[in-house]
Amino acid sequence: MNNFIYQNCTKIIFGKGTETCVGQETIKYGNKVLLLYGGGSIKKTGLYDRVMQSLKDSGIEVTELAGVKPNPRLSLVKEGIDLCRKKNINFILAVGGGSVIDTAKAIGVGVPYNGDVWDFYMGTAGPQETIPVGVVLTIPAAGSEASNSSVITNEDGWLKFGLTSEVIRPVFAIMNPELTYTLPDYQTVCGAADIMAHLFERYFTKTKNVDLTDRLIEATLKTVILNVPKALANPADYNARAEIMWASTIAHNNLLDTGRIGDWASHKIEHELSAIYDIAHGAGLAIVFPAWMKYCYKEDVARFAQLAKRVWNVDDNMFDMEEMALKGIYALENYFSSIGLPVRLKQAGIDESRLEEMADKCSFSGTREIGNFKKLSRQDILNIYKLAL
Ligand code: NZQ
Ligand code: ZN
């Protein structure tokens, strides 16, 4: 196990009806709030009214910015920065999923910065401060509610880049599983694929002697695998929704990569897909991850066999290690298919025409390798896209 420092400053407020305390939590940080949300699901579900009432009861002045799109865009971030400066906003409340939260984080670091906020995503500057961000989460998926990252798409070149910094973790995340009852099935399963992908990215490590985190990851994976079909069968199954929601945070708040180094190539490979084709991030991961696994399992067959045994119950008395590893990968693919996710590019309407372009972008024209479990060159990335066709 490697040395590590673990600190997560996000206060989690979890459970039924918790959104009604958003005013009380917010007023601890600011009284001029930017309320940020997406395409309107929060209005349809009545959440908007409850949040507004709670903010009003705490005497908070609200400025709204709506219209965050999935795979959130830089142009709206810049609009938000201008609005915050003009209105002297001192707190940003994100009500929604990863796209809304990531936009809030970008606006938060952009306001006090003199340069172009995209610098942070290019890695040419690091944020030193932010307007505090709070969250009311409506979809368990990205884990952005307690993560140190934000992913934004620059429409100029369709570049989807991430910023990682401790500065941007939200100060609180209100998580009421009841708010997820209204999710379309497709969003539920895309969220599940993202949660599972965050677990796999951490699981596939070259770090030795990480048994505790291995087993915590396996337990979180099993929890998601068992509860997603329950939520699909009964969207208002509180217990299933609660398990999935807590798993989304646990999978990506850095607890499960303590003492180990994760891989993260599949996320980079997927970001090219959602940047160009605007598909849901989780759907892209359901396509990319099985292909990445087939391409990389020989790096550490025993680790893949361990996952197959502990998570997919593949019997180690009946199969050799390589067979087990492959059975685990096929079990994952079958599971994704069974819950309604695409597992091939063609199922998402993507053909071979832009694979070279994506491999180029992902490898910075062949100048950078990605991934830690196995270092992937431009050619490797292209091979994985082809395997996913
Ligand atoms: O926009 P509205 O109308 O609200 O509808 C949203 C949106 O269309 C809908 N939705 C959300 N909650 C709902 C609901 N519909 C009905 N009832 C509800 N309760 O769901 C759609 C998807 O929302 P989005 O926020 O895009 O989903 P998600 O949370 O999956 O976020 C995806 C983004 O997060 C990034 C992804 O790349 C992608 O851009 N990621 C962010 C990470 C981070 N910051 O740590 C890590 C991840 O790996 C990921 O890259
Ligand atoms: Zn993800």
pLDDT digits (tens, 9 = 90+) for 8-30: 999 999 999 999 999 999 999 99
pLDDT at 361: 96
Q: Which residue's CA is the nearest one to ligand 1's atom 39?
A: 71
In the reported structure, the alpha carbon of residue 196 is separated from the centroid of ligand 2 by a whole-number distance in angstroms of: 9
Q: Whose CA is nearest to atom 36 of ligand 1?
A: 281
Residue 154 DSSP code: E
Nearby residues of 156 by Cβ (< 8 Å), 6 or more positions away: 74
Distance CA 379, CA 340 (A): 30
**110 pLDDT tier (thresholds 50, 70, 90):** very high
What share of residues in the chain are helix, strand, coil (percent, to 5)? 55, 10, 35
| Minimum CA distance residue for ligand 1 atom 46 | 142
Q: Which residues of 311-330 are buried (b: 16+ CB within 10 A; e: fewer)?
A: bbebeeeebebeebbbbbbe
| The predicted structure's pLDDT at residue 27 | 98
10 lines ligand 1 (CB under 6 A): no
Report the number of secondary-structure helices (H) and strands (E) in the chain.
15, 8
pTM: 0.98
Ligand that lies nearest to the alpha carbon of residue 140, given by its number in the listed order:
1
> Separation of 319 CA from ligand 2 center, angstroms?
32
Domains, the chain, ordered by start: 11-179 (3.40.50.1970), 185-388 (1.20.1090.10)
Does an H or E element contain 163, and which?
strand 159-164
Rounded mean pLDDT of 371-376? 98
**What pLDDT score was predicted for residue 77?**
98
Task: Give whole-number Cα distances, 124 to 116, 285, 295, 326, in Å.
Answer: 10, 28, 32, 41
The per-residue pLDDT for range 242-285, each reduced to its tens digit, is 999 999 999 999 999 999 999 999 999 999 999 999 999 999 99
Q: How confident is the model at residue 372 (pLDDT cuts 50, 70, 90)?
A: very high
Q: Hey, how many other C-beta atoms are within 10 angstroms of the C-beta on 155?
A: 10
pLDDT tens-place string over residues 208-237: 999 999 999 999 999 999 999 999 999 999
CA of 141 to the centre of ligand 1 (A): 7
Tell me the pLDDT tens digit for each residue of 181-202.
999 999 999 999 999 999 999 9
Q: Give the span between the Cα atoms of 325 and 290, in whole angstroms.
A: 12
Q: Which ligand 1 atom is at minimum distance from the Cα of 194?
A: 48
Point out the ligand 1 atom lying closest to the alpha carbon of residue 42: 4
CB of 141 within 6 A of ligand 1: the answer is yes
Q: Probe ligand 1: pick from 51, 121, 144, max atoms within 8 Å of CB?
A: 144
pLDDT in tens, 74-101: 999 999 999 999 999 999 999 999 999 9
**Does the C-beta of 150 come closer than 6 Å to ligand 1?**
yes
Instruction: Give the phi and the psi of residue 197 in degrees, each rounded to 5.
Output: -65, -40
Contact 274, 142 (CB under 8 A): no
Choice from 51, 138, 169, 279 to test ligand 1 binding pocket (greatest atom count within 8 A of CB): 138
Q: What is the mean pLDDT of the chain?
A: 97
Q: Are 20 and 54 in contact (CB under 8 A)?
A: yes
Phi/psi for 159 (5° steps) reads: -100, 120
Both tokens of 326, joined, read 């492959």
Query: In residues, how long is the chain?
Result: 389
40-72 pLDDT, tens digit each: 999 999 999 999 999 999 999 999 999 999 999
Q: How confident is the model over 283-337, as pLDDT tens digits?
A: 999 999 999 999 999 999 999 999 999 999 999 999 999 999 999 999 999 999 9
Over pLDDT 90: what percentage of the chain? 100
pLDDT at 129: 98
Whole-angstrom distance, CA of residue 91 vs CA of residue 88 = 9
pLDDT at 215: 98
